[in-house]
């Protein structure tokens, strides 16, 4: 049946950013975001432009620090330390991927938790694990926001997440668990993947393989969220074989225009949250 609804990430991103803009317009001091880039990766340049555009739209102070490819881990940490101690800076994010010689884990944990707007530090991941308020990883947080705004019930539903990265799959499964879903977390070692996906009320694919989820793997009338992004000559492609899967679903996200726009929207949301966390710390 072709009566499925396409989840419009661009529209929800606009709603989120408009709400932030409204709130920021009432603040005396503008919240601020610093993005650190090492090297000149093409994809990173695109993502950073989107972040600058978001900051400009919402009304944040924004700074882009572009560092040379051959900088050392210690030098990056020194720059982060300076930003950690700068009271005028509210959010710091380091654009991934970093060059191979830089220790990504050390760099990610160098940003103090209250400024870690990417939500990727061990500390913020730990708070999520304990179901406490924190700065959450932007992409899974964006998926939660899509589900919330489309009033898709999570509590009591069986949600299958495919992919267990620290960036997406694992925090996704934790947010859903905290929201009362029954979560099955699948990965490359899962035996008979479709046994699980076919039982999903909500299927969230975070794998990064084009056309990986096919119609025979999906339950009738389910919700399918496609986090995957694969770049091909014909453009961006998700994990889900949209043309054959969509008609089996109630709701489905497209690629592009589904989860993608939400990542930058939730970064925007985290910057304001970081600003409020730091205001409280001052008291
Ligand atoms: P990742 O670190 O490569 O993780 C991929 C996950 O998929 C791993 O957990 C892996 O399992 C699992 N996997 C691989 N092959 C599988 C198979 N045959 N069956 C089941 N599971 C399998 O990637 P990521 O950083 O999480 O990103 C996932 C995708 O989301 C990518 O396409 C990325 O570009 C996209 N992404 C999108 C956004 C956005 O804004 N929309 C943001 C971030 C990422 P193992 O752990 O067992 O290896």
Instruction: Give the model confidence (pLDDT) of 19-63 as tens digits.
Output: 999 999 999 999 999 999 999 999 899 999 999 999 999 999 999
pLDDT of 65-80, one tens digit each?
Answer: 999 999 999 999 999 9
Our answer on whether the CB atom of 168 is closer than 6 Å to any ligand 1 atom is yes
Structure token pair of residue 134:
């924190």
Mean pLDDT of 140-146: 98
Our answer on whether the CB atom of 139 is closer than 6 Å to any ligand 1 atom is yes
pLDDT band at 282 (very low <50, low <70, confident <90, very high): confident
Report residue 35: phi and psi, to 5°.
-110, 125
- Give Cα separations from 278 to 32, 76, 197, 272 (angstroms): 12, 23, 41, 10
Please report the domains of the chain, with CATH numbers, ordered by start residue: 28-120 (3.40.50.10860), 137-261 (3.40.50.720)
Measured CA angle at 80 (ends 76, 86), to 5 deg? 150
Helices 9-25, 260-282: axis angle to 10 degrees equals 20
Residue nearest (by alpha carbon) to ligand 1 atom 41: 260
Our answer on whether the CB atom of 266 is closer than 6 Å to any ligand 1 atom is no
The distance between the two most distant Cα atoms of the chain, rounded to a whole number of Å, is 57
pLDDT the model gives residue 44: 94
* Probe residue for ligand 1, chosen from 142, 162, 163, 256 as the CB with the greatest number of ligand atoms within 8 Å: 163
Q: Ligand 1: which atom is nearest the Cα of residue 164?
A: 9
Distance 163 CA to ligand 1 centre (A): 5
Distance 85 CA to ligand 1 centre (A): 34
Our answer on whether the CB atom of 259 is closer than 6 Å to any ligand 1 atom is yes
pLDDT of 186-243, one tens digit each?
Answer: 999 999 999 999 999 999 999 999 999 999 999 999 999 999 999 988 889 999 999 9
- Rounded CA-CA distance 63/40 in Å is 16
Q: Ligand 1: which atom is nearest the Cα of residue 142?
A: 40
How large a percentage of the chain has pLDDT more than 90?
96
pLDDT the model gives residue 1: 60
> Any idea which residues carry the catalytic annotation?
51, 95, 118
The pLDDT of residue 283 is above 90? no
Distance 169 CA to ligand 1 centre (A): 7
In this prediction the pTM is 0.97
Our answer on whether the CB atom of 186 is closer than 6 Å to any ligand 1 atom is yes
Using DSSP bridges, classify how beta strands 32-38 and 61-67 pair: parallel, antiparallel or unpaired. parallel
Our answer on whether the CB atom of 227 is closer than 6 Å to any ligand 1 atom is yes
pLDDT of 7-22, one tens digit each?
Answer: 999 999 999 999 999 9
- Rounded CA-CA distance 22/30 in Å is 12
* Probe residue for ligand 1, chosen from 207, 230, 259 as the CB with the greatest number of ligand atoms within 8 Å: 207
- Rounded CA-CA distance 227/129 in Å is 21
Mean pLDDT of 100-114: 97
pLDDT band at 171 (very low <50, low <70, confident <90, very high): very high
Q: How far is CA 50 from the centre of its chain?
A: 14
Our answer on whether the CB atom of 193 is closer than 6 Å to any ligand 1 atom is yes
- Give Cα separations from 140 to 59, 101, 166 (angstroms): 24, 28, 11
């Amino acid at each position: 049946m072709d009566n499925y609804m396409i989840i419009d990430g661009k529209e929800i991103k606009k709603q989120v950013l408009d709400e932030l803009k409204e709130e920021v317009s009432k603040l005396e001091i503008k919240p601020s975001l610093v993005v650190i880039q090492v090297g000149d990766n093409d994809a990173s340049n695109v993502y950073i432009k989107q972040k600058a555009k978001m900051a400009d739209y919402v009304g944040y102070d924004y700074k882009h620090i572009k560092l040379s490819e051959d900088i050392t881990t210690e030098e990056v940490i020194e720059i982060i330390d300076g930003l950690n101690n700068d009271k005028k800076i509210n959010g710091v994010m380091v654009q991934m991927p970093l060059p191979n010689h830089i220790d990504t884990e050390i760099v990610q944990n160098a940003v103090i938790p209250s400024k870690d707007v990417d939500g990727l530090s061990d500390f913020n991941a730990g708070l999520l694990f304990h179901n406490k308020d924190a700065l959450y990883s932007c992409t899974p947080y964006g998926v939660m926001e899509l589900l919330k705004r489309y009033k898709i019930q999570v509590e009591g539903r069986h949600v299958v997440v495919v992919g267990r990265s620290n960036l997406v799959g694992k925090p996704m499964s934790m947010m859903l668990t905290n929201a009362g879903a029954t979560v099955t977390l699948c990965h490359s070692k899962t035996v008979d993947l479709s046994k699980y996906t076919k039982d999903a009320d909500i299927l969230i694919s975070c794998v990064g393989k084009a056309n990986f989820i096919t119609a025979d793997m999906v339950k009738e009338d389910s919700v399918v969220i496609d986090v995957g992004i694969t770049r091909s000559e014909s453009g961006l492609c998700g994990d889900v074989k949209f043309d054959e899967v969509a008609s089996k679903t109630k709701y489905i996200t497209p690629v592009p225009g589904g989860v993608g726009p939400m990542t930058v929207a939730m970064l925007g949301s985290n910057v304001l949250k970081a600003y409020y966390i730091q205001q409280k710390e001052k008291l």
